[in-house]
Chain A
Amino acid sequence: MQSEQQLSNEKSLEIIQQMISQAKNNISDNGLGWLIWGTMIFLSALSTFIFIYTSAENTFLAWDIFGIITIILLTYDLFKPKQKKVRTYIDDQLRLVDMGFIISLFIIILSINISVLPSSGFGFCLVIFAFFLLLKGGAVKSRSLMTGAAINWAGAIAMFIVKDFKYDMLIMAIAVLLGFIIPGLILWLQYRKQLRS
């Protein structure tokens, strides 16, 4: 791009529009986060279903492991150097959304351990998963994440209706598979395609 080239008014407007659009298009998601968290939750929920079904002893073993991995991953994320070339206004808003989501999730997990029935508590987890999916999906314009939000809300309602905890875990696994893993895979494939082009 030339610096001192004589500019026509039309060219000036074109540059402004082009650059603003370039900055807007910079909001993206490589889908890896959805794949990692989705797989962890999916495996935890599915193994809980299998443990209850087979009358295994430590029903919540997978969730205990999930909790430890979560703490390790969040600590790593907190201290790892940030490498973003650009910081947008929406990035700052999404950071607050992330923080709000993590705090809400920890309070729900705490409530399951203190007073709330697991069946209800995990249902509320799906409610905030759905809210999170909707906000993030809207920000990166991902229809699959927003569809995932609807699926997770439907899953939460199903969990509140179905009283058997074993099947609640199966519903959770399906909701996370459709709401996190598949959209994450779609975003990842799109990201890879974008890198190649």
Chain B
Amino acid sequence: MDFKELDPILHSQLRLAVVSLLISVREAEFTFLKEKTNSTAGNLSVQINKLKDAGYIEVTKQFSKNYPQTICKITKKGIESFEDYVKALQSYMNPGGN
């Protein structure tokens, strides 16, 4: 049986949660991701940087009403990697399936 390797960048609880959220929206602010993933700012920030370095997400820093704002958006590479990850997961969960 040929099992696909799971992407180590995505095979982490928080990074997978961030990418799953971003796949469903056009873009999201850091505070939204923090709230939905129930994570700490420091940890989330580290994981966002890892995803950014891998080219899976784009991060834009801007100011809104004098407050810094971090906007995250999934990239085409991120979408493709997520799709491959889900396919790989399916191959593990359903080895006899098509």
Q: Are A3 and B47 in contact (CB under 8 A)?
A: yes
Which of A12-20, A42-50, A131-139, A158-166 is the interface stretch? A12-20
Question: Do A89 and B17 touch across chains, with their CB atoms under 8 A apart?
Answer: no
Q: Mark A81-99, 1 if CB is under 8 A from B, else 0.
A: 1010111110110000000
User: Given A9-B93, A12-B89, A19-B21 in contact, is the A86-B14 Cβ separation under 8 Å?
Assistant: no
| Secondary structure class of chain B's binding surface, majority of residues | helix
Contact with B along A1-31 (1 / 0, CB 8 A): 1111101011111011011101110100000
Please determine whether B21 and A81 come into contact, CB atoms closer than 8 angstroms.
Answer: no
Check B16–A89 contact: CB distance below 8 A.
no
The A interface is mostly helix, strand or loop, or mixed, namely helix
A12 to B13, CA, bound (A): 7
B64 touches A87 (CB 8 A): no
On chain A, the residues within 8 Å of B31 by CB distance are: 85
Query: A7 is contacted by which of B11, B46, B47 (Cβ under 8 Å)?
Result: B11
Q: How many residues of A contact B (CB 8 A)?
A: 29
The number of inter-chain residue pairs (CB within 8 angstroms) is: 88
A81/B39 contact (C-beta < 8 A), A9-B89, A9-B93, A23-B24 known: no
A19 to B13, CA, bound (A): 11
Chain A CB within 10 Å, residue with most, of B37, B46, B64: B37
Indicate if B60 sits at the interface (CB-CB under 8 A).
no
List the A side residues contacting B93 at CB < 8 Å: 9-10, 13
Residues in chain B within 8 A of chain A (CB atoms):
6, 11-17, 20-21, 23-29, 31-32, 35-39, 43, 46-47, 64-65, 86, 89, 92-93
- 11 CB < 8 A contacts A-B: A1-B37, A2-B13, A4-B13, A7-B11, A12-B11, A12-B16, A13-B89, A15-B13, A18-B17, A19-B21, A86-B25
